[in-house]
Amino acid sequence: MAGEIIVIGAGLAGAFAAARLAVAGCRVRVLEGRRRVGGRAFARSLAGSADRLEQGGAWITKGHHRLQREAARLGLTWRPRTPVTARRWWHGGQLSDGPPPDQREAHERVLARVAADASQRAGGHPGVTASFADYLRALDPPPATRELLSAWWCLSGNGPWERAPASDLLGACSHHDNTPDGIIGYWHASLEGGMDRLAAGLLESTGVPLELGVAVTALRHHANGVEVETADGRRLAAEAAILATGLNPLRRIAFDPPLPEPKRRAVARGHEGIAVKLWVEVEGAEVGVLATGGGSGIEWLFAERESGRGTTFLVGFGLASSAFDPDDRTQVERAVARFFPEARLVAHDRHDWIGDPFSLGTWVAAPLGQPEAVAAATWHPEGRLFFASSDFAPDQQGWFEGAAASGEAAAEAVLAYARRCSAL
């Protein structure tokens, strides 16, 4: 295409799309509503610390080759995931290293059922289609096992129990050994300094013009091109546009003409991700300890690594709830004490992804009964509009590798469209 292509969103999907187009010789411009690059990749330091901690996504798997390829090209390095050296369960007001003795037989029964269902899903069968809430009712787990599944749900399904499918948990289990605790075995490494460095490096290394703090409010598209309207009143003409905002933020953009009905339904429903990710710096905790339980608030807490000042960084997950305020120091202290009574809180931090107008949710949680909302087939191009996001990636959905794959696929679709136009 001789004219400019606008990429909306400077997360991993947008960065991979823009870099691929730039390498192909296209004129590209990236617009990002935030005043930073990275999208759901966002690292920052706690007060007084030099360590940048991932507020959004972090881990990759060994099979995430696109991310590893570009990180190597940019000279970025990976930090191996910390091994789990000790396991703690919190249930019934006390810590233990497993379920209570009187619940172990029922516990093993439930985990065997979960493993069988996860294995079926890994084999390509539809398997369980129920909500997570209905799946738990069918499993009828003992209390400690229920809290274990709830804790791992915060990292896998991460949606309201009644509104998201249990298959999200089962899919996560299936990647390693079909058990909930095995989910962590699939995580391989995180990027030193934060995954947002990869997005920034891709754009800088290919010389793509980037405008930060530019929110897109409207998009008009027709046979001859695209017009992008920004919150500051500008109207930018382009030959094509790639929307790399993620699913939920698309509801903030007015399309003229409107998107077709399947896409409109998907945008109206959105995805259900409501996880809370919390970083905690403490004194007195041993690295490698993984703790779960409680059934509310922070339900999963891992002593992830040592800081540069003799303390330990813990990373925790829960579901957003009015019953727990992750910004309240007293409540955070209680959450830490539940799992690490020997530790003293130094500092804590988190980013509100649900309230963030450019994410409106955490990583993708499929809407129950409407899987087409996050299906790659739904998000095919519409004329000169193209779509990229880990939310509806054809592979590795919800991971940054999925964002990279989706971004590259959108760029290839733009190039194919340009070739067809030039052949007419």
Q: What is the DSSP string of 239-252?
A: SEEEE-S-SGGGGG
Percentage with pLDDT > 70 across the chain: 98
Cα-based angle 274, 279, 282 (whole degrees, multiple of 5): 145
Residue 423's pLDDT band (cuts 50, 70, 90): low
Q: What is the pLDDT of residues 84-93, one digit of tens each?
A: 999 999 999 9
Coil, strand, or helix at residue 195?
coil
Residues in CB range of 69: below 8 A, 6 or more apart: none
pLDDT at 124 over 80: no
Nearest Cα neighbor of 304 from 290, 294, 319 is 290
Cα–Cα distance measured from residue 211 to residue 213, given in angstroms and rounded to the nearest whole number: 7
Which pLDDT score is estimated for 123?
Answer: 67
Cα–Cα distance measured from residue 135 to residue 122, given in angstroms and rounded to the nearest whole number: 18
Q: What is the pLDDT of residues 266-307, one digit of tens each?
A: 999 999 999 999 999 999 999 999 999 999 999 999 999 999
Which pLDDT score is estimated for 308?
Answer: 85
Residues in CB range of 58: below 8 A, 6 or more apart: 190, 191, 195
Average pLDDT, the chain: 96
Q: What is the pLDDT of residues 23-49, one digit of tens each?
A: 999 999 999 999 999 999 999 999 878
Which pLDDT score is estimated for 421?
Answer: 80
Q: What is the pLDDT of residues 160-192, one digit of tens each?
A: 999 999 999 999 999 999 999 999 999 999 999
Which pLDDT score is estimated for 49?
Answer: 81
Cα–Cα distance measured from residue 228 to residue 219, given in angstroms and rounded to the nearest whole number: 5
Which pLDDT score is estimated for 128?
Answer: 83
pLDDT at 159 over 60: yes
Coil, strand, or helix at residue 124?
coil
Phi-psi map region of 3: left, alpha, beta (phi>0 left; psi -120 to 50 alpha)? beta
Q: What is the pLDDT of residues 355-374, one digit of tens each?
A: 999 999 999 999 999 999 99
The listed range with the strongest mean pLDDT (119-123, 125-129, 268-272) is 268-272
Which pLDDT score is estimated for 1?
Answer: 63
Mean pLDDT score, 317-335 = 97
Which pLDDT score is estimated for 424?
Answer: 43
Domains in the chain (CATH in brackets) are: 4-40+195-271+357-423 (3.50.50.60), 82-186+275-353 (3.90.660.10)
Coil, strand, or helix at residue 78?
strand
Residue 382's pLDDT band (cuts 50, 70, 90): very high
In this structure, the strands spanning 298-306 and 289-293 are antiparallel
Residue type, 36: R
Q: Are 89 and 95 in contact (CB under 8 A)?
A: yes
Q: What is the pLDDT of residues 391-409, one digit of tens each?
A: 999 999 999 999 999 999 9
Which pLDDT score is estimated for 422?
Answer: 73
Which pLDDT score is estimated for 126?
Answer: 67
Cα–Cα distance measured from residue 349 to residue 366, given in angstroms and rounded to the nearest whole number: 27
Nearest Cα neighbor of 67 from 194, 183, 173 is 194
pLDDT at 125 over 80: no
Q: What is the pLDDT of residues 192-214, one digit of tens each?
A: 999 999 999 999 999 999 999 99
- The alpha carbons of the chain give a radius of gyration, in whole angstroms, of 22
Cα–Cα distance measured from residue 219 to residue 11, given in angstroms and rounded to the nearest whole number: 19
